Structures are given as structure tokens and as C-alpha cells.
Structure 1
Amino acid sequence: MTERPFSRYTREKSWAALYSQHINAGYVLIPHSRTNNSIAVIRREPAEKVQEITRKLYEHADQCDAFFNQSDADEPNDPEVADLLKRSKHAVVLARSSDYYHYHLDDKEDMGVFGLVICGIHDSYLQLPVWELRNNKRYAARETSIDISSPVFEHARKTQVGHSILLGALHNGDKIAKAFLEALKKRQERTYWRIRAEVDAMQEAQYRGRHLAFMTELERKEVGAKISQGLKLYYAKRRSS
């Protein structure tokens, strides 16, 4: 059975791709910074520089671990390592950049720590830079994979990716997207009002599913231990009753 165009993009595949592509893409992955759905990175070029910094950080892996996982940790004793860790930014890892809105990450108060979105396909409009793994390309903040002002967007708007880009841009109040929608009203008024309704729904929607977790490995183990202990007590009570 062949995969549908969007079903081939998953967070698991994004993680696999970023580990294999990060050196040539110019991103250093910081040791011990990974959570369930994010990782701290530093932007550097060329690939040789990425490898050099990566080796440096792994030589001080214990200090990286302390920096990200111990709130009372001392500053790394190597000035260069300390500077690198302070300059690093957490990136959220998604299947598609539009998932940023699906999970309402733009609404969460603590999401300001994110400085990058890493995704399999860039199919939206974000206020953050995006590293798209599909073609190993980096997009600046508010840059889309298909230019809304280009002549080809009229056709692209009818595709799933183009429609998602337009919704994201309108959600953020982009002037070019708003002008595009107003021009569309003169030609296809029903489509205009349908898109307006989708944008309104996007802005008013409340996510009802399971939110993305951003726990470190230590936090996951602590939660797992509590669950295991709770299950042991539960079954002990059942056996004794």
C-alpha cells in the first residue's frame, strides 16, 4: 500500500532525518539537551565547524548534562563551552510545520524558548525560522516554501500545502496574504468566505488532544517510576482483596 503525500511525514522520521542531516545542514546538536519533542541546537557552518564543536561539547558532556538537567548547576568551567550553551536555542521537532498550530504551540506561555522549528515538510507560515528536512533547506522566519506573492501561488493555493500556507499567513495577519484573499473575493466569493471561516475557526479553536510533552530523559524516568510504583500498589491491593 502506497503512502499518501502527507502520511509519510511523522515526528519519528523527522528525528531520524535530523540526526543524519544536521552536520551538512549546519546545526550542532547539543548533548543531553533532548526532550520528548525538542532538542537544543547551534547554527554553524561549514560542516567541519559543526563537527569540531560537536567533539568539543562531547568532551564536556557532563557539563552539558548539568546545564540542561540541573537547575542549580555551576557554569561550565570551559568559557567556550559556557558561551556555546548560552547561545544554543531549543528547536521543536514536528512532522509538518503546520503542526505548530495544530498543537497550539503559539499559545503556550513557555514556547518563547523555541528558536527553530525542525520538520519533515514546511507547509505553513511561522514567526520562527524553519529547517525543512525533506529538502534539507532552511527558511527564515515568515518565509514560506511557496512565495504567496508569486504568480504560481494562485494554482498552489488549491493544493493541500498551498492552502495550509495561506491559512497560516492569514492567522498571523500577513499583509500579502490578506491582499491575496481580498483579490480572491472578486473572483470566487464563496471560496473567500470559506477561507475566512477556516481562519476564524483556527484562531478560536482549542486543542483537545494530548499536548506535546517536553520532558527530559531524567523527567521521563521519574514519571515512569511513579507509574510503575502505582501499578505495583494497585495490583497488590487487587491480590489481597
Structure 2
Amino acid sequence: MLLCTRHQILSVLQSSAYTTGVRQINDGPGHRIRIHYKRGKIDREFECVVLVRSSHWYEHRLNLYGMGLIEMVVCARHDSCLPIPVWSVEEAKVYNPGETAHPLSALENKTFRGSRSGHALFLAALLTQKQETLTLLEDEEHIPRSTRYRLKAKVRAYANLKRGRRLTIE
């Protein structure tokens, strides 16, 4: 079941608070919330942003302006590689910074790399400078030159703000 809206994600987060140890404290401006995370040895509050997929972190360019404001991402599905912790509501699991749902070795498979989630993971791993993906990008047997140039252009695009309104997190 893919949760498609912010309301659905927050509803599942609230209903599973007792079993997961993660509960919403308050709803901030825009897509920002504050949660209380109590699992294992960690017992503290986090400023979070709510996204449907964790790869939307890069689509909304939060890697450029959200790093100082956001401590964790709360998402329906984790399909990326982020420099901050991610709470996946569907899996009820926290991913540490740089941790991915799929192993990066799966990116060697052309079929997986061509899928939506594989492509998002590949771009995110390039943006976080994962050595495995940087090596794979330069391997001419796995990735043709035109595809390599297209991927590098997309990485450069994610390094700049896009036109229009930003996702509201302040």
C-alpha cells in the first residue's frame, strides 16, 4: 500500500505511535512536523519534513535549503540515499544517514537501475558521493557515454534551486 498524501502518512504515523515509539508532537508550518522518537537508547524530539517518497528530498531541492532546518525525513517509502535519518512509515523503520532500502550493489543490474526507484537511488547515491556509484558511473561496460552525460547533468541540476515556489518548511 503506497501512502499518497501527507494526510495519509500522518494518519498512519499517529495510529502506529504506540507500537513504533514514534509520535507526532505538533504540526509545523507547511510540510514540517515535530516528532518524539523513543526507540532503543534514543529518546528525543526531531524537526521533520513529510514527503511521500524520500527521493522527493532532491526533487524539492531540500538538499540545498533544508539541511539546517530539518533533522529527519518522515516518508511513506524510502527509495533514496539521504544525508540525514529517514523514518519510513510503511516499513516502520528508521534508516541512518546514507543507508538505503536496497543495497547499492543492486545498481549494477541494468533493469533495476532503469526502474523508477533504481534511478532515484542511483541519482541520490551520486549526490551523496557514494564511492560504489561513482565507480559504476565511470564504468563504460555498464553505462554508455550518453547516459553518463545525462546523469551528470541531472546531478548538476539538483545542485541548483529550480524556479518557482519552494516546499514550505519554515
The TM-score, its normalising length taken from structure 1, stands at 0.61
> How much is the aligned-residue C-alpha RMSD, in angstroms?
2.6
Structure 2: gaps (5+ residues)? none
Aligned counterparts of 1:152 and 1:173: Cα–Cα separation in 2: 17
Equivalent in the alignment of 1:148: 104
Q: Secondary structure at the match of 2:169?
A: coil
Q: Which has the larger radius of gyration?
A: 1
Show CA shifts across 1:4-32 (max 9, x none): x98x62323222221222332221322x4
Q: Secondary structure at the match of 2:71?
A: strand
More strand by share: 2
Q: 1:208 to 1:20 in 2, by over 3 A?
A: farther
Aligned counterparts of 1:152 and 1:179: Cα–Cα separation in 2: 11
How many Å apart are 1:129 and its aligned residue?
1.0
Aligned counterparts of 2:76 and 2:142: Cα–Cα separation in 1: 34
Show CA shifts across 1:80-115 (max 9, x none): xxxx7xx4221111111111112211211x642322
Equivalent in the alignment of 2:29: 35
1:177 aligns with 2:137: no
Aligned counterparts of 1:120 and 1:98: Cα–Cα separation in 2: 11
Percent identity among equivalent residues? Answer: 29
Q: Secondary structure at the match of 1:89?
A: strand
Among 10, 13, 16, the residue aligned to 2:8: 13
1:122 aligns with 2:78: yes
Equivalent in the alignment of 2:165: 210
Aligned residues: 167
The TM-score, its normalising length taken from structure 2, stands at 0.82
Q: How does 1:39-188 map to 2 (within 5 A)?
A: 39-45=33-39, 87-108=44-65, 111-150=67-106, 153-183=109-139, 185-188=140-143
How many Å apart are 1:196 and its aligned residue?
2.1
Equivalent in the alignment of 1:193: 149
